[in-house]
Amino acid sequence: GENVEQHPSTLSVQEGDSAVIKCTYSDSASNYFPWYKQELGKRPQLIIDIRSNVGEKKDQRIAVTLNKTAKHFSLHITETQPEDSAVYFCAASSDRGSTLGRLYFGRGTQLTVWP
């Protein structure tokens, strides 16, 4: 099956700085990569996703990049704010084969933004 590695496990930044979280995946069949933000005691919420036919996607302060050759994808948050503090999970999925219907998560990154 798929194996998703996520780094770093914790990340502390000053308000206004940028934050970058990186993930690698093992299955070349994976073609969908969502990012979820989970605040303490809340549900995981999708913040951005990218499909394998796209190299980069932006939504305001958030961007995701995908390198299919190297099998890695990254989340970039610019101008961080205290409300960005949460656990961020990357994930990988495929629309074919034995991984169909499964979302493989990374271990998560605890992001803390200091005012």
Partner 1 sequence: DTEVTQTPKHLVMGMTNKKSLKCEQHMGHRAMYWYKQKAKKPPELMFVYSYEKLSINESVPSRFSPECPNSSLLNLHLHALQPEDSALYLCASSQSAGSIHTIYFGEGSWLTVV
Q: Tell me which residues touch partner 1 (CB under 8 A).
A: 31-32, 34, 36, 42-46, 49, 51, 87, 89, 93-95, 100-103, 105-108, 110
Residue placing its CB nearer to partner 1 in the complex, 68 or 105:
105
Q: Quick check: 90 and 33 in contact, CB under 8 A?
A: yes
Query: What are 73's two structure tokens?
Result: 């994808």
Residue placing its CB nearer to partner 1 in the complex, 10 or 18:
10
Closest CA to 18 of 72, 84, 65, 69: 84
Residue placing its CB nearer to partner 1 in the complex, 8 or 100:
100
Amino acid (one-letter) located at 78: T
CB of 22 to partner 1, least distance (A): 16
Q: What span, in angstroms and rounded, lies between the C-alpha atoms of 44 and 36?
A: 6
